[in-house]
Structure 1
Amino acid sequence: MPGGTNVKQRLWRWRSNPLRRRDDIVEAWIVLAVWMVFAVGGSVAGLVTAHAADEVFAAQRAERQRVPAVLLNDVPLSFPAIGGTSDRRTTTVRWTASDGSTRTGRTQVDTGLEAGSTVTVWQDGHGRLTSAPLSATEAAIESGLLGVGAAAGLAGLVFGAGAVVRWQLDRHRIDEWSREWDQVGPRWGHRTS
């Protein structure tokens, strides 16, 4: 508007206004509820998820243990595939479990080793081969990322639900305006006298 000032009215839905409709008040409460659920629910979901993940990673660090294993096959030196970065191959190893039994299984080892070489593998509390547990730092980073992911997932659901409800309110407002225009519009006919 040239020469005029464009003033943005904050919280206009909350102010008394003869043009304010019931749908405007409902929409104001919905927006407030969405932001509150996002702020409180997102924080709670993120913290609970991060804490649960951290407990799982701590339990893995406590349960898993390194054990020496013997290679049963040669693992020849090989070149990674084009674009690949792995210089590890899956092969069969033998190790002694915590209960004293001898076990055999397949795991990833570095290439270039001969049968009979000793490698270090990780086993779980039941003596099965498993991957190495995350370090405390890696677990903290992973827990934080999972917490942020949970908060973001909740935010998507909450904002999506809020958008659907606001869309329905807009449709209702448009229908009301159409009905009112149908009543008032004919009175504004062309009268030239």
Structure 2
Amino acid sequence: MRRLPSMTAFRGPRVWWWRWRSNPLRRRSDALEAWVVLTVWVVSVVGGVLTGVASTHSVEHGLAQERAQWRPVVARLTEDAPKATASTASGAGRVWADVRWTGTDGRSHAGEARVTARSRTGTTVTVWTDGSDSLVTRPASLSEAQIRAAMVGVLVGASVAAVPYLGGRIVRERMERRRMAQWDEAWARFGPMWGRKTG
């Protein structure tokens, strides 16, 4: 049984960088499109990488400051902690309760913290405070900070890179529509001449 040739046989060999080479068939729009593609890729890659790296360093720096400035303090429950409910079961049996602690200024401070369910009044718990003796969450560890910073850097870098990439796609689509319109115009002009006999 005779095999049909594959479609690639009709396309011919792929020619790389054809828009950059001297070619009598290359149109001005082809060269312009080549510059658009090059610009889009350079801006997308360089902009995405630079903003991603900057975002990663910024997040790492902020989390490092939290680790340096936030400190654990011992607080005491001022009321019995409630029992765990279905909504708090996912939090390993921890609930919100009122606590009191002594700040760096020597004054007594009060607030709400997550504690073990059913803890009694007077039970000591460890809470974290910032430089103004306000309650904060436990700061991220070094490994947690690195993972968080890397994720933020990737997301920010990808978002920044997507802007010129999408812009380039829009420009190329408009160029393609204009090119098709020019082809239609040329076909309307020269198509009827085909088949005419000359001489």
In the superposition, the TM-score normalised over structure 1's length comes to 0.91
> In the alignment, which residue of structure 1 is the partner of 2:101?
95
Q: How far apart in 1 are the matches of 2:139 and 2:125?
A: 17
Pick from 130, 150, 164 the counterpart of residue 170 of structure 2.
164
Q: How far apart in 1 are the matches of 2:193 and 2:179?
A: 22
Q: How far apart in 1 are the matches of 2:172 and 2:22?
A: 21
Question: SS state of the match for residue 2, structure 1?
Answer: coil
Q: How far apart in 2 are the matches of 1:158 and 1:44?
A: 14
Q: How far apart in 1 are the matches of 2:87 and 2:98?
A: 22
Give the CA deviation at 1:189. 5.8
Question: SS state of the match for residue 85, structure 1?
Answer: helix
Give the CA deviation at 1:186. 2.1
Give the CA deviation at 1:109. 1.5
Q: How does 1:97-116 map to 2 (within 5 A)?
A: 97-116=103-122
Unaligned runs of 5+ in 2: none
> In the alignment, which residue of structure 2 is the partner of 1:39?
45
Give the CA deviation at 1:20. 1.4
Give the CA deviation at 1:181. 1.3
Residue 123 of structure 1 pairs with residue 129 of structure 2: yes
Q: Percent identity?
A: 38
Residues 100, 111 of structure 2: 8 Å contact kept: yes
Question: SS state of the match for residue 107, structure 1?
Answer: strand
Number of equivalenced pairs: 190
CA deviations on 1:15-41 (whole Å, 9 max, x unpaired) are 222221111111111111111112211
Change in 2 beyond 3 A, CA 1:81/1:106: closer
In the superposition, the TM-score normalised over structure 2's length comes to 0.88
Q: For structure 1, which segment, 109-118 or 180-189, has the greater mean C-alpha deviation from structure 2 after superposition? A: 180-189
